[in-house]
Homo-oligomer: A and B are copies of this chain.
Amino acid sequence: MQITVFRYGHRIVRDKRVTTHCALVSRALGAKEMIYCGQEDNELFENIRRIDKKFGSDFKITYVDNYIKKLEELKKDNILVHLTMYGQNIVDTVKQIKLAKTSKGIVLIVGSQKVPVSVYHISDYNASVTNQPHSEIAALAITLDRLNPNILNDNEGFSDAKVKLVGDNDAKRKVKMR
C-alpha cells in the first residue's frame, strides 16, 4: 500500500517543529513521500534529507505551491483521506479502505492552520482520530499504524542505513555502523 502524506500549510517559524515531526513520522511509519504547501522551507528539506541519508530509506519531501491542483492530480491514482477533528471515525474509515481492496495509493492529508473547505470536498474520506482536539502528528501516526500495523514489528530498519539503532530494554544505545 503506497502511502503519501500531504501537509496542508507550513509557516517557517511557527510550524518548523510540528512539520518536521510530521515528516519524520511519515518516514518512520512507511510513507514514501511528504508533500507540503505554505511557505517553502529549505532548512526543513535539508533536515529531513540528512536524517534520511543517515538512517536510510528514500523518503521524499516535496513542496507545492498550488495545493488544490496537486490534490486533483493525486486523486486520479489515490484515495484522499483528510484527517480532521470533524470527520467520521478513523476505525470505520480504515475498515472501509481495507474492504475496498483498491489498487490505488493513499494520500493522508493533515492540516496545520485552518484547512479550506475545498480540501474537505475533494477528500474521499474526512476522518477523525477521536472527535477531540489534539495533534495532527498523533492523528497521522495512529492512522499509519492502523493502516499497516506490521511496520512496528520491523526491528531491522532500512537496508541502506549508515547508522542503525539496535534497541533493548536497557537502552544501551547500541549503534551498528555499516
Contacts and interface: CB of A to CB of B under 8 A. Distances in A.
A101 interface: no
A44 B33 CA distance: 33
Interface of A: 17-18, 21, 24-25, 27-29, 51, 55, 82, 84-91, 120, 125-135, 137-142, 145-146, 151-155, 157, 164-174
Interface of A is mostly: mixed
Question: How many copies of this chain?
Answer: 2
A86 B25 contact: no
A3 B141 CA distance: 20
Nearest to A137: B137
Contacts of A87: 167-169, 171
